[in-house]
Amino acid sequence: MSENISISTLSGDGDFKAYVARPADEPKAAIVVIQEIFGVNAGIRRKCDKLAEQGYLAVAPDLFWRMQPGIELDPDIEPEMQEALDWMGKFDQDEGVRDIEATIKWAREETGGKKVGAVGYCLGGRLAYMTAARTDSDATVGYYAVGVDELLREKDAIANPLILHIPTEDGFVDKETQKKMHEGLDSHPKVTLYDYEGMDHGFATEFGQRRNEENADLADKRTAEFFEKHLGGK
């Protein structure tokens, strides 16, 4: 079952929409799904639906709501890709993480205090790293996170497990940045980095030209096992 709900900001100065997918039975835990630069589109909603099929309460907040609520874009349509990049440039990431924190708080209350994790893609992968460092997310996953090298100073604040899935041919994350990520995080006791040789940005998207079935399945399998282990699954 899925629905759209409203969540209050941490400061109580506004409300934002979120897509929620509920499992058929009592959820074993909750997972916040963090959008790409394309908004809470069909691909992000499908990520939520698949997590609900695995027994989780899944919720994807509309993080662009302060700029324009309800943005949904398609990366395979060039003008929409450019529009998405424009939105990313205007987006306040610190505010976004606070909205993710508000969503974690909502999910924890909604499940009666069960564990809450987070998973993000693209911009959401970067926000997932920030979420691991700045919130009480119980377990966090980032796919093709951008600009993590700029955030390595926050790594000591990561107290709960984090996975980062890194495509080695990411057009938005060059080899030098990948090297800095490994140098900065390989020794961190809570962080695991997985490289995907020859893969480009967006390889685990649900729909469209960017998807690579084999590597998407591998990354998603690792993510599923990680959440089972750390969010109290059977």
- The residues carrying an active-site annotation are 170, 201
Q: How far apart are CA 198 and CA 61, in angstroms?
A: 31
Phi, psi of 209 (to 5 degrees): -75, -20
Cβ contact 135:106 at 8 Å = no
232 CB-side CA count, 13 A: 13
Q: How far apart are CA 63 and CA 4, in angstroms?
A: 14
Q: How many CB atoms lie within 10 A of CB 145?
A: 27
The residue to which tokens 């080899």 are assigned: 175
Report H helices in 34-188.
42-53, 78-90, 93-110, 123-134, 175-185
Q: How far apart are CA 116 and CA 136, in angstroms?
A: 9
- The three-class DSSP label of residue 64 is coil
The greatest distance separating any two alpha carbons of the chain, rounded to the nearest whole angstrom, comes to: 46
Q: How far apart are CA 230 and CA 31, in angstroms?
A: 12
Residues in the chain: 234
Read off the tokens for 52: 């609900």
